[in-house]
Structures are given as C-alpha cells and as structure tokens.
Amino acid sequence: MKSILTVLALTAALAGLGLGCRKPKAVDTSISAVELMKTADKQMKQGKFNEARLTLRHLEQYLPGSPEFPKAKLMLGDSFFFQGSPSYPEAEVEYTSFLNYFPRHALRDYALYHRALCHFSSIESAERDQSETRKALEGFQQLLTESPGSPYAGETRAKILQCWRRIAEHELIVGVFYVNTYFYPGAERRLKSLLETYPDYVDRERAYYFLGEAMRQRLLSDEELKQFNKDYAVKLQKEDLKDLTREQVEQYGKDFLAFSTERILGYRAEAKSYYQKLVESYPGSDWARRAADRLVAMGTSGVKESLDS
C-alpha cells in the first residue's frame, strides 16, 4: 500500500511539474501595424476601450519601429481620455509618454493640449486646492509658447482665462477666510498679492472690502514685534533686551507705544484708502455701501450721504 501511494504521489508531482513547464502561448506577430490600427480604431468607435488598449499594446510591444507607432501612442492616451468613465491620470501618463518619445512630431500640439485637458478636467472647486488648475495653466501656456498657430490655440486661450479666474477666486476665498478667522496679517499678504498678480480676473469689489476689513482690525504681528525688539537691542548695543536698567525699561515702553501707535494708525489709514477705492470705483454695488458705512464709522464724513444721493 505504501509503495502504491508513493507511486501515485510521484505521478501527481510529475504531472504538476509538466503543467508548470508548458511553453507560453505564442504571440501572433504576423498581423501588420496597419491592420492593428484599423482594428483599434474600430474598437474605439464601438466604445470597446479595453479591447482597443490590448490591440494598441500589442503594436507598442512588437512593432515599435512601424510608422503607425506614434499614432498608437496617442490613441492609448485617447482610450483613457474618451472612455465612458475617463481616467485622466492614466491618459496624462500616455500623452506624456508620446511627448517624450516624439519631441518633434507633427501631432505634438494635440498631445500637449490633451495632456493639459487632463489636468483641466480634474480642477477642484474654488474652495479646494488648485494644484491641478496650475498644472493645466502651465500645460496650456506651453502649447501657446511652442505652437501659437495651433488649431487648439483658440480653445487654449479661453481655458487659460478660466484657469486664471479659478486661481484668483481661490486666493480671494483664502483671504476672506483669514479675515473671518482673525488672521489679519495673512489676509493682508494674500489679498495684496491677489490684486497685484491677478488684476484682470479678481472680484475687486470683494478684494478691496476684505482688505479694508483686514487693515481696519490689524494689530502688530509677532514678526513685527520681534523685529522691533531686535532693532531696539542693536540701538542699545546689546544682544537682547534681558538686562535693561529701570530707565531703559521705561524708555522702551514709551518708544514701543509710539512705534505701535504709528503702525496701527497707518493700518487704519490704509483701510480707509481701500474702502474709498471701493466707493469711488463701484458706487452702485452692495460692497460699496458696506465700505461707505465703514468710512462713516471710522470718521470719514460725507461719504455715505454722497453715495446715497
């Protein structure tokens, strides 16, 4: 009985070994690249994107020297971009692969445009992170730089404007958030940068109003306090302000009060200037009326009456 079991076990082991040593199925390399492209094109038109990718991968692997190879690389990107549920990251990888393989190809502008569209189609709402918007913007700008006469140039310019507006709106939302959470120095930096960087795309009414709000309530920041102390120590020819005499402490208090008062009065004056710009530039808007109320409360007479008349 033991001998029989041993023979059966060896037979099974050999059979398994035989199965494991079978040769892989031979790949048919007799089909031409032209035929493969026709098949892939038909599959794409029928919505059979997975099957089309298998056909294109076959051409990519076995016929990379054929004239059809560049178009196959592009179609791989299209298969991800145009399928029912687009996979933009995978499409972007394929378009980038084409651009790396064929840096001077006649269809380079097509690949650049659709790669940028992959990011453009992934743009988040203005409240969310705008990294995809910036990547789309960079891609569209590259296309215009390389191929200003491209047939995609018109659409590219329109999408660049949309990207600028989305980024500007995001920056404004962040600035307003900083005002509402009492982070006034951050709001000041964000909103001033916004007005300088995106003058043609930003909602200037809201930007002026909330910049005025930030400056109306702004106090000295930690950075300003540290810099004042550092400069004061240098003035006293000391490394720090730890060992001051009583007279020096009293003088420090007076000097700091004068410094902080001057700074804060400067912030308030700056707030009034932004409210005033809003009132003068957009006299019929609700934001201008709010700004006028702020000016009246801050002691600027005659503004609200002039606005209402």
Q: Is 70 exceeded by the pLDDT of residue 4?
A: no
Looking at 156, 179, 196, which one is the last position of a domain?
196
Domain extent at residue 143? 31-196
Q: Are residues 178 and 303 in the same domain?
A: no
Instruction: Please compute the mean of the pLDDT values over residues 123-139 and round it to a whole number.
Output: 95
Q: Are residues 133 and 224 in the same domain?
A: no
Q: Is residue 20 part of a domain?
A: no
Alpha-carbon distances of 9 from 17, 22, 30, 213, 266, rounded to whole Å: 12, 20, 43, 86, 94
Question: What pTM was computed for the model?
Answer: 0.78
Question: Which has the minimum average pLDDT: 113-127, 142-156, 233-247, 275-289?
Answer: 233-247
pLDDT score at 299: 86
Q: Are residues 173 and 218 in the same domain?
A: no
Instruction: Please compute the mean of the pLDDT values over residues 170-187 and round it to a whole number.
Output: 96
Instruction: Please compute the mean of the pLDDT values over residues 124-136 and round it to a whole number.
Output: 95
Q: Is residue 1 part of a domain?
A: no
CATH number at residue 46: 1.25.40.10
Q: Are residues 40 and 125 in the same domain?
A: yes
Looking at 196, 225, 257, which one is the last position of a domain?
196
Q: Is residue 25 part of a domain?
A: no
Question: 69-79 pLDDT, tens per residue?
Answer: 999 999 999 99
Q: For residue 161, report the phi and psi dihedrals to the nearest 5 degrees.
A: -60, -40
Q: Which residues of 221-245 are buried (b: 16+ CB within 10 A; e: fewer)?
A: eeeeeeebeeebeeeeeeeeeeebe
Q: Are residues 172 and 243 in the same domain?
A: no
Q: Is 50 exceeded by the pLDDT of residue 13?
A: no
Question: 241-254 pLDDT, tens per residue?
Answer: 888 889 999 999 99
Nearest residue to 63 via CA among 93, 94, 27, 91: 27
Instruction: Tell me which H or E stretch contains 120.
Output: helix 108-120
Q: Are residues 158 and 281 in the same domain?
A: no
Q: Is residue 15 part of a domain?
A: no
223: confidence class by pLDDT, cuts 50, 70, 90: very high
Number of domains, the chain: 2
Q: Is residue 272 part of a domain?
A: yes
- For residues 130 and 119, what is the distance between their CA atoms, to the nearest angstrom? 10
Mean pLDDT taken over the chain: 88
Q: Are residues 192 and 216 in the same domain?
A: no
Q: Are residues 105 and 253 in the same domain?
A: no
Q: Are residues 159 and 272 in the same domain?
A: no
